[in-house]
Amino acid sequence: MNFQFTEEQLMIKETARKFAVEELAPRASERDEKEEFPHEEIKKLAELGFMGMMVSENYGGAGLDTISYVLAMEEISKVDASVGVIMSVNNSLVCWPIETYGTEEQKLKYLPRLARGELLGAFCLSEPEAGSDASNQRTTAVRDGDFYILNGTKNFITNGVYANILIVFAQTDREKGSKGISAFIVEKDFQGVIVTKKEKKLGIRSSDTAQIVFEDCKVPVVNRLGEEGMGFKIAMTTLNGGRIGIAAQALGIAQASLEASIKYAKERKTFGKFLAEHQAIQFKIADMATKIEAARLLTLLAAWKKDRGGKYVKEASMAKLLASQVAVECALEAVQIHGGYGYIKDFPVERYLRDSKITEIYEGTSEIQRIIIARELLEMKV
């Protein structure tokens, strides 16, 4: 197996690192404190091609591979995990399903503008009674001539306040259960789309998370994504790839926690010597680095398999499961190494800890990842 990145991949990684340090770092803590959406930063990110990284050049994207995406996601999330998740949703959960399942007209209409940052996307699957059980959709889409009439509520929608394009899942035939779910491309300015609430969150506070209600929203039939009844399949295959992005986000948080710990350990003295000279601290840092490297290799393996068109469901879930766990563990250790300073906002490690937890929850909780991994290993059908 070749562990060397290509020159292009290394260039993407360095470009993302430089952008994160120069454009994101100066106000990352301030945006978090104010819960301020990074409008200008996202525009600049799009100018670099990072909002449509894997979109084909035919549709205005950068046409890059998943490994490049992982490298960029880690560098961005290392500095600001909120920007990381905005980038992840647009790339993995919006652009990818449109390019994979959309008609040529849909691709030409939406992908170039999503890739250029002129439009921002959101993925509307979760509901008040359909979180981990995504098949339990209560939102309905009733065919009425050339339109579908959408009614229902979607919860915890990342980019929900500022997104222009929504990938929405709804029941078109309730009697068929999960096989009666269909997917739609809904423009935010369609009549009947209402953002009812912006959530107050523990972490990733400068990304917006909203509740969206659809009240007799008329969606043209030409905006259906895929055939009727394909919605659940589209949602699950989309999330398989999305988990690679969240694993990369978690890696960024974990790596930031490690680097902050190393820096502090070399500067802070206790009992007449630097923290870095205490074996207890050395062990913590060694364990953090080892876990991060293991999670990174697993994430890159999932990306590598996806790029080659093979099955990667198990690897993506494993990567997301392990990387999110490592992110939380490393952030906790970083706070511990910083002592009292780790608990105050003068140092970024308290933000890393708050940001890390969500990686164990969204795009499938850790418990759901274990179910998926077990099903793949046991070849169980769902």
Question: CA–CA separation, 320 vs 370, rounded Å?
Answer: 10
Q: For the stretch 142-159, what's the b/e string if a residue is b when 16 or more beta carbons lie within 10 angstroms of its beta carbon? A: eeeeebbbbbbbbbbbbb
Q: Which residues are catalytic?
A: 363
Q: What are the tokens at 59?
A: 């549709």
| Amino acid identity for residue 249 in this structure | Q
Say how many CA atoms lie within 13 Å of 102 toward its Cβ: 21
Strand partners, 154: 212
Q: How far apart are CA 281 and CA 135, in angstroms?
A: 46
C-alpha–C-alpha distance, residues 272 and 31, integer Å: 38
Question: Per residue in 100-139, is it b (16+ CB within 10 Å) or e — as a string?
Answer: ebbeeebbebbbbbbbbbebbbbbbbbbeebbeebbebeb
Token pair belonging to 326: 């490592």
